[in-house]
Amino acid sequence: MNEIILFKYGEIALKGLNKNVFEDILLRNIRWRMRDLGPMRLRKAQSTIYLEPENPDAFDFDEALDRASKIFGVAAVSRALVVEKSMEAICAAAPKYLEPLLSGVQTFKVETRRSDKRFPLKSPGISAETGGALLDAFPHLKVDVHEPDVIVNVEIRDFAAYIHAGSIPGAGGMPVSSSGRALLLISGGLDSPVAAYMMAKRGLALSAIHFQSPPYTSERALQKVETLCEKLTPYTGSIRFYCVPFTELQEAIREHCPEELFTVIMRRMMMRVATLVAAREDIRALVTGESLAQVASQTLDALYCTDNSTDLVVLRPLIGMDKTEIIKIAYQIDTYETSILPYEDCCTVFTPRHPRTKPKLHFIEKAEASFDFEPLIRQAAENTTVKTIH
Ligand code: ATP
Ligand code: MG
């Protein structure tokens, strides 16, 4: 049976002259995500990408569809049968192909899209003939145009005709890397993986940076963050993962700065190290999982002080979201269970008893001036390790 997968575009379809660029990025992303599923051909035409396995009978369609549903830039995905462009072929193939599905339902209707306008019969005629063939083959079925159990789709396109019984929703958004690349500050918590998902959805490829404070934080805590990155890759593609040794900087902050300013100063140090690491990849934006008012370091005043430590654009996709909304997405992208594992994070180790919720920038700058942090910042960036997570 000659089956294929059709990827229909979302927003890309609305792009003008540079639509081609977006399509090519999407095509490349699909090829990469499907790379180990066997030989296949990918091509684009009429706002659709066609995935044609070389050996459809041995192809794992379920796995491919699961992966397809996580690729940004796709509005809908269908598994379809390829047939010759003639009514005889369509009417002969549809009952056989759809039998497993139609034998278990009561009602259906046929919808036709005829993008090849040279096809002699118009859409209503194609739907009527195909419907007739299905009624002949399955006498128990009835047509219901308003609320059918199944919608049978016939698409007459350039290369062939396609039959399928509906689409699964795609992940939406823009193809990853069509908007460039950003550096995600990832902790082991719930928020930053969700932030990664949301920015990847808008077409950003991601590198990730994690600050680790051994011996206060353990190897297991680091492993947890790497697992989170692995869980993100079906959505984000490969992630370049940077790990920063942060202990010395944290100890210096603890020693030289007032306790109630600790968190916001630490956040500023993270931003500075991240800014140096971002420069290596010519990255202009950082992504964090901060949400307004969630904790003391995420008040407007604290965010102002944090932003002041970097020239890069700081993207905070969760800024207006409630924890319950964030958790819902964490479940959906399967990071929740990993995020709630109770390993310590470098932030929790040094949490002040009474963090300042309205820090003033000039106090912070004064506190930071009491010690030369610059060499430690540079050293942390230099000693950062990197690996790619697929
Ligand atoms: P999360 O659930 O993502 O840990 P959180 O609500 O615990 O967030 P904070 O601990 O204040 O909030 O961290 C705010 C943001 O700072 C995180 O979302 C993340 O982007 C960044 N961050 C915090 N800790 C680290 C870390 N150890 N390494 C890298 N980034 C971090
Ligand atoms: Mg955290």
161 in the same domain as 185: no
Residue 315 identity (one-letter amino acid) = L
Residue 200 identity (one-letter amino acid) = A
201 in the same domain as 105: no
215 in the same domain as 157: no
| Phi, psi torsion values for 286, nearest 5 degrees | -110, 150
Here the CATH number for the domain that contains residue 324 is 3.40.50.620
Q: What is the pLDDT of residue 46?
A: 83
Q: What pTM was computed for the model?
A: 0.93
Nearest atom of ligand 1 to the alpha carbon of 263: 11
Beta-carbon contacts of 295 under 8 Å, excluding residues fewer than 6 positions away, are 355
Q: Is 290's C-beta closer than 6 angstroms to any atom of ligand 1?
A: yes
**Nearest CA residue ID for atom 8, ligand 1:** 191
250 in the same domain as 126: no
Preceding omega of 39 cis (within 30 degrees of 0): no
**Nearest CA residue ID for atom 20, ligand 1:** 288
Ligand 1 center–CA 345 separation, angstroms: 9
Q: What is the pLDDT of residue 349?
A: 64
Q: Is 189's C-beta closer than 6 angstroms to any atom of ligand 1?
A: yes
Q: Is residue 66 part of a domain?
A: yes
Q: Is 224's C-beta closer than 6 angstroms to any atom of ligand 1?
A: no
Ligand 1 center–CA 137 separation, angstroms: 59
Q: Is residue 9 part of a domain?
A: yes
pLDDT digits (tens, 9 = 90+) for 68-103: 999 999 999 999 999 999 999 999 999 999 999 999
Residue 154 forms beta bridges with which residues? 112, 163
Nearest atom of ligand 1 to the alpha carbon of 246: 27
End residue of a domain, out of 120, 147, 169: 169
Q: Is 78's C-beta closer than 6 angstroms to any atom of ligand 1?
A: no
End residue of a domain, out of 169, 197, 221: 169
Q: 17 pLDDT band (50/70/90 cuts)?
A: confident
Evaluate if residue 282 carries a pLDDT over 80: yes
Best probe residue, ligand 1, of 184, 190, 191, 306 (max atoms within 8 Å of C-beta): 191
Helix or strand holding residue 177 (H, E)? none
- The share of the chain scoring above pLDDT 70, in percent, equals 99
pLDDT digits (tens, 9 = 90+) for 177-214: 999 999 999 999 999 999 999 999 999 999 999 999 99
Q: Is residue 176 part of a domain?
A: no
224 in the same domain as 94: no
The alpha carbon dihedral of 134, 138, 144, 147 has a sign of: negative
Evaluate if residue 334 carries a pLDDT over 90: yes
Q: Is residue 175 part of a domain?
A: no
Tell me how far apart the alpha carbons of residues 284 and 185 are, in angstroms, rounded to a whole number.
14
